[in-house]
A and B are shown apart, each in its own frame.
Chain A
């Protein structure tokens, strides 16, 4: 409150702030919508069944479709208990918005990368492909859609051999 009344505080002109406040207060103010606990369960189910440790093209495709439909559904989450001091449902509803974004990023990038490397294992591409995939994947937000790009890895001291090799085994 002090900061608001103080004359030295610069006025916030950006309209984005009001938009964000509206977005974050939505679950507290509206009366009809989805329960964040149910949404969290759905996210967990998608992530556990389809974007697990062993990944497949088919399951990843399905996961993307489900994520897209869930993303539209979950915009109207509401909490049943309107307190603002550590309201676990409210926190969860806000976390859900971020979780679904991270899940979409993981799904899209593991579908894009046609090899197995490190933490990513795909049954349809079980080998590590150093010829094509010595790259990082970058994600950019273009008109609220994720667009993927690759960027070459900067190699400093050790140069990995440019071959296709078995996953997980030292050469």
Chain B
């Protein structure tokens, strides 16, 4: 249930050197999906720069060419840079195995 101007983002966090099991962490940011147009990558950048700088994700070209930012968004594999945010998000790494940290996997 998202409020009018806020969205909830759940990111799967896992640091194989420390944690036994992966876990979800919640973040809340102000976002009005009718007025603003942010991509998932913009949201990740916002969280990294302002809320929690320990999240790990990769991005390069930002225009949907390099596929470096491919992650699971609400259960489907998509590119973070070209996917618009329309509501609450659940972000997971693209594969379940070989996680280096958080959203980064060995390819």
Binding site for B on A (CB under 8 A): 37, 80-81, 83, 85-89
Contact = CB atoms under 8 A, between A and B. Distances in A.
A86 B104 contact: yes
Chain A contact residues, majority secondary structure: loop
Contacts of A81: 53-54
Contact of A87 (B16, B18, B56): B56
B78 interface: no
Bin the interface of chain B by size.
Answer: 10 to 19
Nearest to A82: B54
A80 B49 contact: no
B66 interface: no
A6 to B, nearest CB: 26
Chain B contact residues, majority secondary structure: loop
Contact of B101 (A37, A80, A83, A89): A83
Given A80-B53, A80-B54, A85 B15 contact: yes
A89 B57 CA distance: 11
Contacts of A87: 56
Nearest to A41: B49
B29 to A, nearest CB: 17
A83 B56 CA distance: 11
Interface string B10-45: 000001111000000000000000000000000000
